[in-house]
């Protein structure tokens, strides 16, 4: 698996299941460090620059540049921090994945209204990441 050392290292540092982290990376970018979406999300974990800048500040960085997101080490570090933040906030993996895909504001609104995931794309995203997590666990022993 590409970037296995980075995935394992940040999974350990942020108390993440490495298979989950690998699954998110695959679903977001197919492990392409140069990936860029139409919405401006960049890199392996498809982070938006404004989100990444906030993470950089929260984690002690003060010199964030958008180009940093093309660096696999930095991108996975920030993405791992963000995924851990979502898991801590929602205390539920599927809800955290929904927030990673659809945004915290949408998930918070759905939860306040007592509803589940309202976007079919996000439901499919969560299901696909959960499936990929099991694939990575079997294939790579993650």
Tell me the CA end-to-end span of the chain in Å, nearest whole number.
11
DSSP label at residue 66: G
Mention every residue, 6+ apart, whose C-beta is less than 8 A from residue 22: 1, 7, 132, 133, 136, 140, 142
Mention every residue, 6+ apart, whose C-beta is less than 8 A from residue 6: 72, 73, 76
Buried b (16+ CB within 10 A) or exposed e, 48-65: bbebbbebbeeeeeeebe
Residue reference for tokens 């993470």: 55
**Catalytic one of 28, 50, 73, 130:** 28
- Distance, in Å, from the CA atom of 128 to the CA atom of 107, rounded to the nearest integer, reads 18
Q: Is 28 a catalytic residue?
A: yes
Q: Which residues carry out catalysis?
A: 28
């Amino acid at each position: 698996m590409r970037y296995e050392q980075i995935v394992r290292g940040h999974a350990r540092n942020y108390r993440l299941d490495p298979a989950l982290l690998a699954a998110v990376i695959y679903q977001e970018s197919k492990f392409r460090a140069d990936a860029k979406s139409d919405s401006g999300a960049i890199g392996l974990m498809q982070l938006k620059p404004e989100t990444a800048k906030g993470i950089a500040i929260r984690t002690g960085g003060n010199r964030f540049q958008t180009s940093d997101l093309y660096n696999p080490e930095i991108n996975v570090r920030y993405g791992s921090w963000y995924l851990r933040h979502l898991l801590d906030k929602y205390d539920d993996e599927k809800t955290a994945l929904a927030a990673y895909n659809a945004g915290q504001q949408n998930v918070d609104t759905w939860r306040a209204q007592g509803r589940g995931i309202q976007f079919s794309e996000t439901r499919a995203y969560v299901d696909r990441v959960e499936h990929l997590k099991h694939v990575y666990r079997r294939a790579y022993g993650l």
